[in-house]
Structure formats: structure tokens, C-alpha cells
């Protein structure tokens, strides 16, 4: 199956994506395994938390975009010496209910929830010490969409703040895309068999439009992140981020 069999204009709408995630809360509530459809999910959770704390140890406010059930915020709060406020944003109200419940048990800071599309959310500039986005930005569509979201994240961060993300990525060389897609399929088959693999592939084709790691690192620099880094990459998944100049 081609990763891009479905055109961008025919991909799932935010409302359709919200409906699916409303019914999938339990799968996103496991801190030990993360999302099993994601290669190296537990490692990605650890790397984002450790990188956020290393780059921004005095964090007071976190924004978790597409927070799901709150796994990334929980990992960061447990790793940092402060008790930061956490703003949790997601399309799914059911996810936000679970995330607020879980994150509130981990920090004495204020936990606030925002339901909706990040692109439309009204949030203050120069406000957050850390922004994280895990398995969410692959839902972005054309180049303008990608630029506007990365630019908005840069503006939301205070000077010296950092942005960390883990996500499904594509590849610039077609032969490598085919190779890595096949390797990902082999991984999925070991997790749940051929039917599970085919179901995940169908969901990706219907909902997702990932971009290469190289594209996203270049885009981070383009919007103003002067220091960027890749922490991990395995097949079609990567963990990376950047820091806003002080």
C-alpha cells in the first residue's frame, strides 16, 4: 500500500478524527507501552521527557498538543524538579477528561484543558517553557498548514523555551520509503498479525499525511529555532525538537 494513496483533500476531517479518538481512550492510557502501533513508543516517551528537562529545567508551564490521555505530560512532570502548570489540548473530550484526571495526580501546578483544533486555539504568545506534540502533527496537510503550526508553536514559547515531538515520518527517497514502510509492516505483523497491520495501514492512509524528518528539521529552523536536534529515528518514527533563542 502506498503511504499517499489517498489525496490530501480526501483525508479525514478533524471531526472524523475526534470521533475515532473518543472511542480509543484506554489504548492511550498505558504509560509503560505507549501506543503499540508506534515503534519504540516507550523510548520516545522517555526521550521527550528527558530532553525537555535537560533543555528547560526551570519549566513552569507546559503545553501538550494532542495530549491524548496525558502520557507525555506525566513523564515530564515526573522527571522535572518543579511542579509546572500543564495546558492539555486535544480534539477529543474523552481524552481530555482522562488526561486531566491523570496529570492532576502528578503535579501541584494548575492543569487546564482546551478542546479543539490547535490551529484554531487562542493561546498566549511567549507563555510556555515547553511545548510537546506526540503522534499528532502527522495530521497536518499542505505546506502552508505545516508552516503555520510550527510558526505558532515558536511564538507560543517563551525565549529559551523548547519544543519536542515524536511522530510518524515519511522519507524523501522513494526507495527508502518503500523499505521503511515494509519494515514497519513487519513490525505491525509481529504485534497483531496481518489483519492488524492492514488495519493500521488503512487508518494511516485515511487520516495521516506525515512529512520527512529532514523537512521538519528544516522547518524548525525556518520559523526561528536556531538550535535543533534529532534524538532518535527507527523506520517510520522519529523523536526530535528545538530550542527558541533566549
Residues of the chain with pLDDT under 70: 1-6, 17-34
Residue-wise pLDDT for 73-117, tens only, equals 999 999 999 999 999 999 999 999 999 999 999 999 999 999 999
pLDDT value for 1: 40
pLDDT value for 13: 78
pLDDT value for 35: 76
Radius of gyration of the chain (CA): 17
pLDDT value for 16: 72
Alpha helices in the chain (DSSP H): 14-22, 41-55, 71-79, 93-104, 143-156, 174-207, 213-223
CATH architecture label of 8-243:
3-Layer(aba) Sandwich (3.40)
Q: Which of 84, 83, 90, 45 is nearest to 64 (CA)?
A: 90
Q: pTM value?
A: 0.91
Neighbours of 39 (CB within 10 A): 19
SS3 call for 24: coil
pLDDT value for 7: 75
Amino acid at each position: 500500500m502506498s503511504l499517499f494513496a489517498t489525496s490530501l483533500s480526501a483525508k479525514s476531517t478533524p471531526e472524523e478524527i475526534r470521533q475515532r479518538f473518543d472511542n480509543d481512550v484506554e489504548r492511550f492510557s498505558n504509560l509503560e507501552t505507549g501506543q503499540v502501533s508506534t515503534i519504540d513508543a516507550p523510548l520516545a516517551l522517555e526521550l521527550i521527557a528527558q530532553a525537555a528537562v535537560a533543555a528547560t529545567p526551570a519549566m513552569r508551564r507546559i503545553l501538550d498538543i494532542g495530549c491524548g490521555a496525558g502520557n507525555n505530560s506525566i513523564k515530564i512532570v515526573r522527571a522535572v524538579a518543579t511542579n509546572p502548570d500543564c495546558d492539555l489540548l486535544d480534539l477529543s473530550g474523552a481524552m481530555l477528561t482522562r488526561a486531566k484526571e491523570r496529570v492532576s495526580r502528578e503535579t501541584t501546578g494548575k492543569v487546564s484543558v482546551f478542546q479543539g483544533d490547535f490551529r484554531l486555539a487562542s493561546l498566549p504568545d511567549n507563555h510556555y517553557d515547553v511545548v510537546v506534540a506526540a503522534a499528532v502533527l502527522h495530521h497536518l496537510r499542505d505546506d502552508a498548514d505545516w508552516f503555520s503550526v510550527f510558526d505558532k508553536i515558536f511564538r507560543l514559547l517563551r525565549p529559551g523555551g523548547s519544543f519536542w515531538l515524536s511522530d510518524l515520518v515519511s522519507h524523501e527517497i522513494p526507495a527508502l520509503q518503500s523499505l521503511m514502510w515494509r519494515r514497519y509492516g513487519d513490525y505491525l505483523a509481529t504485534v497483531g498479525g496481518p489483519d492488524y497491520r492492514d488495519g493500521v495501514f488503512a487508518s494511516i492512509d485515511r487520516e495521516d499525511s506525515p512529512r520527512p524528518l529532514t523537512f521538519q528539521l528544516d522547518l524548525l529552523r525556518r520559523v526561528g529555532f536556531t538550535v535543533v536536534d534529532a534524538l532518535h529515528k527507527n523506520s517510520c518514527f522519529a523523536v526530535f525538537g528545538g530550542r527558541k533563542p533566549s
